[in-house]
Structure 1
């Protein structure tokens, strides 16, 4: 029976990895992550004002409405205007649109530009590093993913959840379930991590035999019916 249970758990783990999108579909949420990064930084830095701020509003309105063509046109001048933080935000949104449209090589190039930009604010550089790794995840050696993201995969870092999820997935690729499970559980227990991400990582930690339940009633409400892995959503 133990062998059967282990085989079933292994099959569920493979299914979950495919469904929730760490490996197969993580680029889909790149645009939302970029917008989230911009909004987070805005809370900690002086807002862009005047004409530049109005241009940002136009671009964001277009993105939120799903009009990516007009959004690209609105963003283009913003990538070279204003302070470094404003330019970084525009570039991240531009990269997110490229990823959403399937232009992964272009998106990766832009993310790398922000990640290596010495004049860019560090929160943006960190986010760009995560997105760059995410859209190239399948082709990267797991040790490269871990080396690039482990410094960000720590509680208290704004990007702990996103970076930690990728690091844990890299551990899985290495067969290091003993490292992946506790990290998934740590993310799932962190109240500062978005609930959708906590649900995904709670599912993964459970499949790896690590308890990540803090509030049992809430976990049951958020758990997908029949134990299926949650679909990727942010």
Structure 2
């Protein structure tokens, strides 16, 4: 019986082996294709990462080289030749260019460059807001306080990244117009905001003091021991 059992086992194993080989011949190409796809996908992913790193490094080198020029005018000219490809790269390059245009004594060109960034639909909103904020600051006397206030009010919408900084600038436009009451109202609103930073609260407090207001006038006195 043992020889018979052994023979049956051998035959069964041989049948299994033949079936396995038959399945591999029939469907083995699928496994090979899957392996090729996995290896190829991993290789392509690494290639894309390496290419992105190389592109970012090349952009950084180009920007540093442009900013290393001697005069603001030379830096502006060099920044204009930086090969920015993506919208984000173009936005960063343009904001650096605007800063150098302002340093070169050309606020009009700087304002125009920043406004171009603010209108880039494919750039994240936070960068567009930053460009608008800088453009309004650079505009200076080219815009009336009321015109700049309207621009800052658009940046002070609920949830906006630069909301409180825009509110601070709104208060300053009221100061320019001599409307102390309106300025203090805005400053009080900033101080009471839960998201105000310590630095901004300090600046607001100092401005209120400069305007002749007591920042602690409306606070209840501390309870005595």
**Shared fold (TM-score, shorter chain, > 0.5):** yes
CA contact (8 A) 1:185 1:212 kept: no
Q: Which has the higher contact order (CA 8 A, sep 6+)?
A: 1
State the shift of 1:105 in Å.
1.7
| TM-score (normalised: structure 1) | 0.56
Out of 199, 210, 215, the position equivalent to 1:211 is: 215
Alignment match, 2:123: 120
State the shift of 1:163 in Å.
1.8
**Which runs of structure 2 are paired with 1:1-234 in the superposition (5 Å)?**
49-58=52-61, 61=64, 72=76, 75-78=79-82, 81-153=84-156, 156-187=159-190, 193=197, 195=199, 197-208=200-211, 209=213, 211=215
- Structure 1: stretches of 5+ with no match in the other structure: 1-47, 214-234
Structure 2 vs 1, CA of residues 61 and 204 (structure 1 numbering), >3 Å: closer, same or farther? same
CA contact (8 A) 2:190 2:196 kept: no
CA contact (8 A) 1:62 1:68 kept: no
When the two structures are aligned, how many residues end up with a matched partner?
A: 164
Report which of the two structures shows the higher radius of gyration computed on alpha carbons.
2
| TM-score (normalised: structure 2) | 0.58
Structure 2 vs 1, CA of residues 185 and 144 (structure 1 numbering), >3 Å: closer, same or farther? same
RMSD: 3.4
Secondary structure at the counterpart of residue 136 of structure 1 = helix
- Structure 2: stretches of 5+ with no match in the other structure: 1-50, 218-225
